[in-house]
């Protein structure tokens, strides 16, 4: 019988390093909307630096568009000044490009769906689990400790990735389930939550700049450190202030 206690983990930056896939998909989604623009396949440093402030997948597409702008606000201000008013800059960019979050999210998910359908293995390979993490999560199941995944990624894509690693959480909630605080509150009605494992600042597994990690996790042989209250947005090691939440 499973324990009534539940450990909840974020996915990107905690279980897998998905930075390569973030840019791969965000770039292609943007180019579907604006195919005349030339945008490098290499991950721009601004994208890495801004990733901690991204709360929804559609924002990645918008950031790709902002990076593409010559003499745009991101280029003129620089990342540190840009994030001081992140929400306002994103709202202005949506108006400038004539887009809305629904369009960007749908385009992003269409890119991912096409990738899974046409070249599943290559798309899966863009995500690298952190060393030791799949084994530790499997051990939780063997110890009858229930664990769940809560992510802003689409549920189906996350399920595909977890299955490729041989992992099956007790629960899986994607962005379709609502905001992370809302989901955690609902889970707390049915489970005793032992914590929410999310990305933090620093280096190493789940702790790279913006939660991207470095692929290193020297302490994962031990039970992971769990935050007792959800902290969705990490603070950058560059002393850039934490992001504001953008309304969908």
Predicted local confidence at residue 210, as pLDDT: 32
Residue 227 has pLDDT above 70, yes or no: no
Q: Which residue has the tokens 């950031």?
A: 63
pLDDT of the residue at 199:
63
Residue 216: exposure state from Cβ atoms within 10 A (0-12, 13-18, ≥19): middle
Say if residue 222's pLDDT is above 50. no
Mean pLDDT across 9-37: 95
Q: How does residue 3 score in pLDDT terms, banded at 50, 70 and 90?
A: low
Residue 226: which pLDDT band, with cuts at 50, 70 and 90? very low
Give the model confidence (pLDDT) of 98-124 as tens digits.
Answer: 999 999 999 999 999 999 999 999 999
pTM: 0.71
The beta strands (E) that lie in 126-206 are given as 128-129, 146-150, 171-173, 192-197
């Amino acid at each position: 019988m499973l324990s009534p206690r539940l450990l909840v983990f974020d996915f990107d930056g905690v279980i897998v390093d998905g930075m390569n896939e973030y840019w791969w998909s965000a770039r292609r989604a943007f180019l579907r909307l604006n195919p005349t623009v030339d945008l490098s396949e290499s991950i721009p440093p601004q994208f890495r630096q801004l990733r901690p402030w991204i709360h929804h997948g559609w924002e990645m597409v918008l950031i790709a568009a902002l990076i593409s702008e010559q003499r745009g606000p991101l280029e003129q201000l620089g990342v540190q000044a840009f994030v001081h008013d992140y929400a306002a800059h994103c709202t202005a960019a949506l108006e400038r490009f004539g887009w809305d979050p629904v369009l960007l999210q749908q385009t992003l998910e269409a890119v991912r769906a096409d990738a899974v359908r046409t070249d599943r293995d290559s798309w899966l390979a863009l995500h690298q689990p952190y060393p030791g993490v799949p084994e530790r999560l499997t051990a939780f199941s063997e110890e009858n400790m229930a664990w769940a995944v809560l992510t802003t990624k689409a549920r189906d894509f996350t399920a595909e990735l977890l299955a490729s690693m041989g992992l099956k959480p007790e629960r899986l909630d994607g962005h379709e389930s609502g905001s992370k605080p809302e989901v955690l509150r609902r889970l707390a009605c049915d489970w005793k939550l032992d914590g929410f494992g999310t990305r933090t600042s620093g280096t190493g597994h789940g702790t790279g700049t913006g939660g991207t990690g470095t692929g290193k996790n020297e302490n994962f042989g031990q039970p992971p450190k769990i935050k007792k209250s959800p902290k969705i947005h990490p603070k950058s090691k560059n002393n850039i202030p934490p992001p504001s939440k953008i309304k969908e």
